[in-house]
Amino acid sequence: DDSKPLNFIEHIVEEDLANNFPKEHLRFRFPPEPNGYLHIGHASSISLNFGLGLRYNAPVNLRFDDTNPAKEEQEFVDAIKRDVEWLGYQWDTERYASDYFQQLYDWAIYLVKKGKAYVDDQSSEEMAAQKGTPTDPGMNSPNRDRSVEENLALFNQMKKGDFEEGTHVLRAKIDMSSSNMLMRDPIMYRVLHKAHHRTNTDWCIYPMYDWTHGESDYIEQVSHSFCTLEFAMHRELYDWFLDQVYDEKKVRPKQREFARRNLSHTVVSKRKLAQLVENGVVNSWDDPRMPTISGLRRRGYTPESIRNFTETIGIAKRDNLIDVSLLEFQVRNHLNKIAPRVMGVLDPLKVVITNYPEGEEEWLDAENNPEDETAGSRKVPFSREFYIEKEDFREEANKKFFRLKLGKEVRLKNAYIIKAESCTKDTDGNIIEVQCTYDPKSKSGSGTEESLRKVKGTLHWVSIKHALKAEVRLYDRLFTEESPDTHKDKDFMEFVNPDSLQVITGLLEPHLKDAKIGDRVQFQRMGYFCVDKDSTTEKLVFNKTVGLRDSWAK
Ligand code: ATP
Ligand code: MG
Ligand code: MG
């Protein structure tokens, strides 16, 4: 959309173009580490990078930042690809940092030969003690001045697998008194005797993030490398590593930072989300309570609603917390336009129409979506006995209660006007049945004077004889706290909401028997629901996506 004001990231690109950076050299990337599923925070980064690709008609790579074999898996690679595609974006090429292990190794040798890298075999404690503090310079490692030959031999031994994990590292020789701690001879390689999900056991030394990321951008000729603010201090190192290998004739990647997005009442960190899965707080990465893209999809979110959300919150320069109601607003807004209306009773109370002929039934016309003329209509069965919501009936109530009460009338959606005459209770005093009379001439859409009569209150209902039973899963916030992972002396796990899932049996109009996994509907007056992947032909399972209005008590 060209009419929108540019965000500060787009300004950076515009400025480069204005300073004669060739437009055809623009290239971006989205660089997830495959150590978990993508979450709603990633959606911001995806929208940003792929949005730039669309704006400038430039390629965007999907790069897996897979340098840590201990935590990465093929399952996560597959899930990430599925989610980016589902969000509606297309990458130019699929890349893996692990594809560059050989090139990175060759460059590391080159640095060693230039005297810019050395092998250190001190313990990590010794190295930490030499690091100094931001205000005190560090101390040079006693191994800093090893000869090139010795470094090459040791580095080769590291690669061959001669050393145990944690005994040897390759370090860049930069500046132990730099005011930027990251420049104090950072580690480039460590020994890890672990199989990698792609390179298997080819390597037992693995490159660190800082050494890998900028060089990968350079190999792919990414022009603009956007990352989150925690990498701002890493930029100097990113540039130092590039300086070592940069060839003037090539595009030099540029790192710039934007704010991480946090969502209220949840956590957006793969590590923490993994903890929820591992501890059984949720059932899986795609549990509908999870803020993952696959969790949101299973919950009933549409790609449009997530894209509109990221678009609305935009790109920021400072970290902040976005209220989850903004996300819910977007899905409600979109589902209002596209979701067919159906009737479903979630907490049933039996109603009998005493003047409706026994054994009779009729099929009434029901409009599928008042927001969408093309959505058409369907038939809904009506009969003498049906369910309404328990909360829609009271024996007595004040004037503001526009639902059913004794002696008063309401309209049944798509059907008749009924009047409550009496009710029956069980021995505990619970109401178990309401007896009504109906006005046979008041049928909706029949055009009679009676059908046009105004009564306050319209209820949804489901004919008992025709009702389809389904499991309905209702969700609440996963955490009771707005910002569960920012408490100083409490772990975020302490704020897990024990009642985030409630499973009930709903009674639905029979039309829904053909609903397919992923179908989204509005249960009129109750909210938006979608068919869960646990559904079978014997048993339908619905997830509540969101209510019709923002009803959550603040
Ligand atoms: P996590 O802590 O969830 O693992 P990460 O930053 O380590 O997050 P990556 O897989 O490295 O996850 O992220 C891929 C890209 O998405 C990076 O550029 C990262 O900066 C960006 N990103 C991750 N989380 C967010 C967020 N909450 N808001 C905006 N961008 C994010
Ligand atoms: Mg990362
Ligand atoms: Mg991470």
CATH number for the domain harbouring residue 295: 1.10.1160.10
Q: Measuring CA to CA, how many Å separate 266 from each of 41, 278, 298, 323, 517?
A: 11, 16, 17, 10, 26
**Which residue segment(s) compose the domain that 117 sits in?**
8-258
H/E element holding 117?
strand 117-120
Residues 528 and 420 in one domain: no
CA atoms within 13 A on the CB side of 485: 16
Pairwise CA distance, residues 498 & 318, whole Å: 32
- For a pocket test of ligand 1, which of 30, 39, 42, 44 has the largest count of ligand atoms closer than 8 A to its C-beta? 42
Residue 313 tokens read as 């919150």
Residue 360: CATH number of its domain: 2.40.240.10
From the CA of 230, the nearest ligand is 1
- For residue 90, being part of any structural domain is answered with yes
List the catalytic residue out of 173, 190, 235, 270: 270
- For residue 552, being part of any structural domain is answered with no
CB-based burial of residue 398 (10 Å sphere; 0-12 exposed, 13-18 middle, 19+ buried)?
exposed
- For residue 322, being part of any structural domain is answered with yes
Distance from the alpha carbon of residue 134 to the mean position of ligand 3, in angstroms? 25
**pTM, whole model, 2 decimals?**
0.95
User: 449: helix, coil or strand?
Assistant: coil
- For a pocket test of ligand 1, which of 48, 228, 231 has the largest count of ligand atoms closer than 8 A to its C-beta? 228
CA atoms within 13 A on the CB side of 302: 19
Question: Atom 8 (ligand 1): residue with closest C-alpha?
Answer: 269
Instruction: Give catalytic status of residue 72 as yes or no.
Output: no
Pairwise CA distance, residues 95 & 102, whole Å: 14
Question: Atom 18 (ligand 1): residue with closest C-alpha?
Answer: 227
Residue 110: CATH number of its domain: 3.40.50.620
Q: Does residue 243 contact residue 253 with C-beta atoms inside 8 Å?
A: no
Residues 110 and 13 in one domain: yes
Residues 292 and 195 in one domain: no
SS (H, E, C) 15-50: HHHHCCCCHHHCCEEECCCCCCCCEHHHHHHHHHHH
Question: Atom 27 (ligand 1): residue with closest C-alpha?
Answer: 41
- For residue 265, being part of any structural domain is answered with no
Domain boundary among 210, 230, 258: 258
Ligand 1 nearest atom to the CA of residue 39, by list position: 3
Residues 246 and 287 in one domain: no
Q: Does residue 208 contact residue 189 with C-beta atoms inside 8 Å?
A: yes
Residues 128 and 222 in one domain: yes
From the list 216, 212, 199, the residue with the least C-alpha distance to 172 is 212
Q: Measuring CA to CA, how many Å separate 362 from each of 12, 393, 399, 416, 528?
A: 65, 24, 33, 12, 27
Residues 451 and 479 in one domain: no
Distance from the alpha carbon of residue 96 to the mean position of ligand 2, in angstroms? 14
User: pLDDT per position in the chain (554 positions), as tens?
Assistant: 567 789 999 999 999 999 999 999 999 999 999 999 999 999 999 999 999 999 999 999 999 999 999 888 999 999 999 999 999 999 999 999 999 999 999 999 999 999 999 999 999 999 999 999 999 999 999 999 999 999 999 999 999 999 999 999 999 999 999 999 999 999 999 999 999 999 999 999 999 999 999 999 999 999 999 999 999 999 999 999 999 999 999 999 999 999 999 999 999 999 999 999 999 999 999 999 999 999 999 999 999 999 999 999 999 999 999 999 999 999 999 999 999 999 999 999 999 999 999 999 999 999 999 999 899 999 999 999 999 999 999 999 998 999 999 999 999 999 999 999 999 999 999 999 999 999 999 999 999 999 999 999 999 999 999 999 999 999 999 999 999 999 999 999 999 999 999 999 999 999 999 999 999 999 999 999 999 999 999 999 999 999 998 654 33
Tell how many helices (H) and how many strands (E) occur in the chain: 12, 29
From the CA of 227, the nearest ligand is 1
337 φ, ψ (degrees, to nearest 5): -80, -35
Instruction: Give catalytic status of residue 270 as yes or no.
Output: yes
Distance from the alpha carbon of residue 271 to the mean position of ligand 3, in angstroms? 7
Pairwise CA distance, residues 451 & 163, whole Å: 87
- For residue 1, being part of any structural domain is answered with no
N-to-C CA span, the chain: 35
Question: Atom 3 (ligand 1): residue with closest C-alpha?
Answer: 269
- For a pocket test of ligand 1, which of 37, 44, 45, 68 has the largest count of ligand atoms closer than 8 A to its C-beta? 45
From the CA of 270, the nearest ligand is 1
> 302: Cβ–Cβ under 8 A, 6 or more apart, which residues?
331, 334, 335, 338, 520
List the catalytic residue out of 63, 159, 260, 297: 260
Residues 56 and 123 in one domain: yes
Residue 409 tokens read as 């009338």
- For residue 132, being part of any structural domain is answered with yes
Pairwise CA distance, residues 107 & 175, whole Å: 20
- Strands 94-96 and 60-64 turn out to be parallel
Measured N-to-C along each axis, helices 209-220 and 101-113 cross at an angle, to the nearest 10 degrees, of: 110
List the catalytic residue out of 27, 29, 33, 544: 33
Residue 267 tokens read as 């956590």
Residues 107 and 150 in one domain: yes
Ligand 1 nearest atom to the CA of residue 46, by list position: 16
CB-based burial of residue 245 (10 Å sphere; 0-12 exposed, 13-18 middle, 19+ buried)?
middle
Residues 71 and 173 in one domain: yes
Ligand 1 nearest atom to the CA of residue 44, by list position: 29
- For residue 264, being part of any structural domain is answered with no
Domain boundary among 258, 288, 310: 258
Distance from the alpha carbon of residue 451 to the mean position of ligand 3, in angstroms? 61
Helix ranges restricted to H, 114-246 = 124-130, 148-160, 209-220, 235-245
Lining ligand 1 with CB less than 6 A are 31-33, 41-42, 44-45, 65, 227-228, 260-261, 268-271
Pairwise CA distance, residues 104 & 205, whole Å: 11
Residues 136 and 244 in one domain: yes
Tell me which residue has tokens 């944690």: 166
Distance from the alpha carbon of residue 107 to the mean position of ligand 2, in angstroms? 22
- For residue 2, being part of any structural domain is answered with no
Distance from the alpha carbon of residue 41 to the mean position of ligand 1, in angstroms? 7
Residues 277 and 307 in one domain: yes
Domain boundary among 460, 483, 513: 460
CB-based burial of residue 164 (10 Å sphere; 0-12 exposed, 13-18 middle, 19+ buried)?
exposed
Distance from the alpha carbon of residue 533 to the mean position of ligand 3, in angstroms? 28
Question: Atom 29 (ligand 1): residue with closest C-alpha?
Answer: 260
Distance from the alpha carbon of residue 296 to the mean position of ligand 1, in angstroms? 17
Residues 145 and 240 in one domain: yes
Number of domains in the chain: 3
Instruction: Give catalytic status of residue 358 as yes or no.
Output: no
